Structure 1
């Protein structure tokens, strides 16, 4: 490990041993400089191991100087040429952190020594290079004797250059574009953001996006217990539309609470999940006031790499995945990526299964130095989707006739249980630079999904017996949608104020069609179930609807930097049209609406890494759902005040944050099972505190810690809910995760991780007279690098979630129309073997 902040002195003797050289710094290097200085941690290449003794050092330098390498570097900006040289020669290279501007490098092709290549790239430039420990090559400006040269920044072959929507090495991201749609350091963003990286998802054995967020402050993911069919994420206590806050590559996945065909993304296909807390409508249009989850797809890389993994675990869970990427030509113009996965498993609930097949191809074309386009596809088929049912509180929270229902019990019937979903997405990301000031982008996606559903579910106890009354619901549904976001970003200064101005226009079009039947079904003994006779006779549809939504929005935002001050302002105007056609009665109801939303924030960045901030933001979220008369629901509107502080100690790879917030969400609604429609219930107020710590304490030890306090209540005069706490919202949540990697000795290559998740009590019914008990779960992971056993590039991982096999109810939703409690996931064990190449 090395700290890149130390100044270096070029002595007279050093000057005699080096050659003239020159360099420049472009945006790519600026990102790397920022990342390196913030983290204070440098990832080394295999050269580092050679610097164990002076004799070894001298020998390695001699080898490096004379080693022949094959190069194919086109004429281009010098910093890019040097980066390509480091990759192709497999060497460590240090760049100056200042003074590299506006220089070009000649093309290099063929076989030559490392020294000859550097001489050709840097000849006559006024810069120098020299070999340091282990054969490291340091690029330095020629300086007069006794004058310090510029601080170096290392560029390693295979090192990750962190992008605000790209992969992150380890658990701690330094940048995010989710909250601003621009690449902005998290420390300098006046809003609470948590980033779940790919490494964290893998170490914690996350099989769904819900599971990936289990250790994220402010996020509750236990709304439907052990069901994996959809990704329900409750952010900051706002339960309404908890299925509607997932975004992919900056665009809404177009899910909605009115449809069963909501999209679900497998976490194997994403690099990271950025959780933005609080309203984000100014940039994204319709969205929940609690926040959003921004997923970033795996995209093509210009370095050849790949992996294949196989997994097997409890409940006969088995999977096969692959991830291949690399360049398609020698000039570095085109790169591809293809990611695929097949998964299948029995579920916790008797007689139900999950099965999924997914493939995601993508292609990146660097049309020119200023123009880039990435084409992406995502194709998923779920032949089986498990179950989504709940059970009565009597028998789960407390006994029924002296007995508790098993947490493996299934209240439906395998003879009439199916969930088949096909979802397809195609789109592109286009970007063009107009000089150093303007950049324009267009992101587009078309998607469609089809669902066939058959399910029998309980509706409460039948009299005093142990039998459950049941109902059948099923049918077919289709979703067709497309969304496009046009952006223009300008970076300029007015006097001492730096501006990042973003303007945009986006459009969403969404249509769903469905036909459903709701019929009576036979009773089932909950303690001695006999399946195979659901008692359902299918007939004509009892419900058929066609719903559509069109939304267009015009937005502008400005981020200003003045000294240590950071200011942000934004405005958005939305225009919305919705319609709901009852195809059985041929009655259509439609509405046109418009809404102006605003946001603003201020942050002060102290030199010691402390950054207090304040923000105000608004949200606007229409729905395709209807009330009992068929009239579309009023859009929910949210406002938030947030104050917080972030701290990133200088020279450390640590991020600490605290945020206090107050949100009001108007026009909330709840589903009425007896009318199959929604009923308005007034305003929800949510306020609370979130604490988060992410740190690499040492090169071996990483720790995540979080705490959430949420005080939510209804403001609904005249309703039984008035002043009460919403169901499925814990008041307290806490989590702690640690992972230790052995780097030497007999245990070299072994990683051990463990975590504890605590979820406090939640309200089970509207009157708050019944509560769901708190619960604590333990997760562990063991990783081992099989290189230590002679199996190069292979590793194995064992995940055990809910180690103690705690039996618990994760949440309940008891209303005057329904009584549903959801058992949490039992202990799961999953072993994964991976080979990288």
Structure 2
């Protein structure tokens, strides 16, 4: 099935974005032309604002004090009774991640090495639970609504984000279906009334090349209406560490903010992205990756197990939405967020699966063509009021999600491949094609009340969801459905001592309707989770330091586990995760910033057929730790360096083989070129190195047949011009 949208949009988007990138470097007057004020005065204002912004970043380079997503109300982290981490825009700029999952490498409780160096999807495991990005990613308060039972999953580039808030633990109470481990809440860059003009170019290893721009500023002011815009775009391409594979992306994100007086605002947003090539996505046997093959050889991390010119994954996604807000008075307001999503995917891939002989891998073929359409809307009323000595912040809302994904899958066989001396050009046989449709619909009614009583902070939340799902086999006309409702809740308490210590405890629940089918095509029962958490946060008064410690006990029922090399899942029973997470972020001086984290995860199957009781699920490292520091030297030089440690994990649910621990070193070096000459004012150069010591390692395994090499050393240089 060929999508009518893909051919109509992909090529024009690519051409138009390339034209915009060229214009960004050739015509820097885009934002300034909208200003009515005198040019010289405007320039003086811009320079002053730039100086203020830089100083603010030096005071707290990575520390964030507030978060909105966990309560849908702007709440201090010290008063939030769950574990929260925030990846700031400054951290994204310093570490230059290419995906959201890569941006979370230094976040406690998050394991992002699920598929090694591949970054086609944003796989994020929180507190040991492996879920696809469609289940634990939120953009601007709304689910991204990909299809985790297919290949159509939405990916947002971190260049377009202002911050990433990671909430750990069950969170269905405000967002409906959710992964038990938590979710990553992405916040887009938004329009601003101060001028922002930035362009950059990047080159690096593996033929990496790219360019990006970010413009913002006022458009008009008068007649009671203020308007501001933001236009962000990028284009980039590179080879991957696997031979014959490539990444390529073109994306554009325009937004417009309209303020009608002091009480009403409307934000219009769009995100248009085309990925002509999204790299590789394949695993290799544990035999000859984790250990030496019986012939004494190991498989190279660069092995391509497909066929050159015949393997690819392309994605075109379009997101359109708005955020409307009206304040009735200083205490009560109404908000409505809406987003429409179109996403089209094409897949053609040959992949290895187990040994066919002494040196050769079995190979199979899979393909697909999918077109996804989705809508999400969230309506909420929020108000503040008092009942005696108790101060309330009450949020009441109803949200609706609808998604349908239609397409076909095809499969077949390919001739085996020598894993140590590959010879390509071999034939493949297509054995079958199936046409299907996946529908999902959810309506949720929720209430959240935050209470303040002296030094106490309490929170009570409840949500009722109604869900309908259907999988249709379009070839045979058969349908499997699941309809039902679930109530979830969360309660928490925090006590604020005067010395900055804030102990807390909470209980939370979540559910996740399974989009997975068993071998008979029937949808599995929804997973249900519950968690108890206790912790303490500490922020010395007047300091730029925040320390947190959390201990939790999390249980998930009706776990689904995919049977590898098939398109169906099987129930895996109950899984329990207990652990400890520590995090520290501090601005130790005007020049020195530091952040660190440690994660201990004790995870086991409590009951089920997929693994014996007491075994640990694969891809759940027991220990993880990270440390990143940044020092701003005199003269415009800055140095950032980090160390990441990932402990051992099991390669399979039977716990027959362990993936060794590994330690990686990252580096970031920047220099303000304007210090050399007034003519270069606004220019800065940044060098980044991931896995600086070029360590070869296996990041994780999803069975003894699927192990994933981590990324080798990757170097990049970015030249940025701000004007």
8 A Cα contact 1:415 1:532, kept in partner: no
Computing the radius of gyration from Cα coordinates, the structure with the larger value is: 1
State whether structure 2 residue 293 is matched by structure 1 residue 404.
no
Equivalent residue, structure 2, for 1:244? 135
Which of 409, 428, 433 matches 2:327? 433
- For residues 72-87 of structure 1, the aligned pairs below 5 Å read none
CA deviations 1:232-279 (Å, max 9, x no partner) are 000001124455211100111112320211000000000100000111
User: Match of 1:528, SS?
Assistant: coil
Q: Distance in 1 between matches of 2:299 and 2:437?
A: 39
Which of 693, 708, 722 matches 1:822? 708
State whether structure 2 residue 676 is matched by structure 1 residue 789.
yes
Q: 1:214 to 1:243 in 2, by over 3 A?
A: farther
CA deviations 1:592-646 (Å, max 9, x no partner) are 1100001000000111111000010000111222111111111111101000000
Equivalent residue, structure 2, for 1:338? 231
Q: CA deviation at 1:156?
A: 9.8
Equivalent residue, structure 1, for 2:692? 803
Q: CA deviation at 1:414?
A: 1.4
Equivalent residue, structure 2, for 1:369? 262
8 A Cα contact 1:666 1:684, kept in partner: yes
Q: Distance in 2 between matches of 1:666 and 1:691?
A: 27
More strand by share: 2
State whether structure 2 residue 520 is matched by structure 1 residue 634.
no
Equivalent residue, structure 2, for 1:52? none
Equivalent residue, structure 2, for 1:423? 317
Q: 1:208 to 1:421 in 2, by over 3 A?
A: same
TM-score, reference length from structure 2 = 0.91
State whether structure 2 residue 507 is matched by structure 1 residue 613.
no
Which of 246, 254, 264 matches 1:353? 246
Q: CA deviation at 1:492?
A: 1.3
Q: Distance in 1 between matches of 2:374 and 2:281?
A: 25
8 A Cα contact 1:515 1:544, kept in partner: yes
Which of 655, 665, 679 matches 1:778? 665
- For residues 60-71 of structure 1, the aligned pairs below 5 Å read none
8 A Cα contact 1:316 1:346, kept in partner: yes
CA deviations 1:805-837 (Å, max 9, x no partner) are 00000000116xxx1000000000000000001
Q: 1:235 to 1:200 in 2, by over 3 A?
A: same
Paired positions, count: 682
Q: Distance in 2 between matches of 1:485 and 1:452?
A: 31
State whether structure 2 residue 723 is matched by structure 1 residue 831.
no
User: Match of 1:187, SS?
Assistant: helix
Q: Distance in 2 between matches of 1:319 and 1:305?
A: 20
TM-score, reference length from structure 1 = 0.79
8 A Cα contact 2:689 2:713, kept in partner: yes
Q: CA deviation at 1:369?
A: 1.1
User: Match of 1:199, SS?
Assistant: helix
What 5-or-longer segments of structure 1 have no aligned partner? Answer: 1-69, 74-84, 93-154
Q: CA deviation at 1:161?
A: 12
Q: Distance in 2 between matches of 1:347 and 1:542?
A: 30
Which of 344, 357, 362 matches 1:469? 362
8 A Cα contact 2:490 2:509, kept in partner: yes
What 5-or-longer segments of structure 2 have no aligned partner? Answer: 1-34
- For residues 440-589 of structure 1, the aligned pairs below 5 Å read 440-463=334-357, 465-533=358-426, 535-538=427-430, 541-589=432-480
Q: Distance in 1 between matches of 2:518 and 2:275?
A: 31
Runs of 4+ in 1 over 3 A off after TM superposition: 70-73, 85-92, 155-162, 166-169, 240-243, 717-721
- For residues 584-603 of structure 1, the aligned pairs below 5 Å read 584-603=475-494
Equivalent residue, structure 1, for 2:640? 753
Q: 1:381 to 1:719 in 2, by over 3 A?
A: closer
Q: Distance in 1 between matches of 2:720 and 2:598?
A: 33
Q: CA deviation at 1:185?
A: 0.7
Q: 1:718 to 1:72 in 2, by over 3 A?
A: closer
User: Match of 2:520, SS?
Assistant: coil
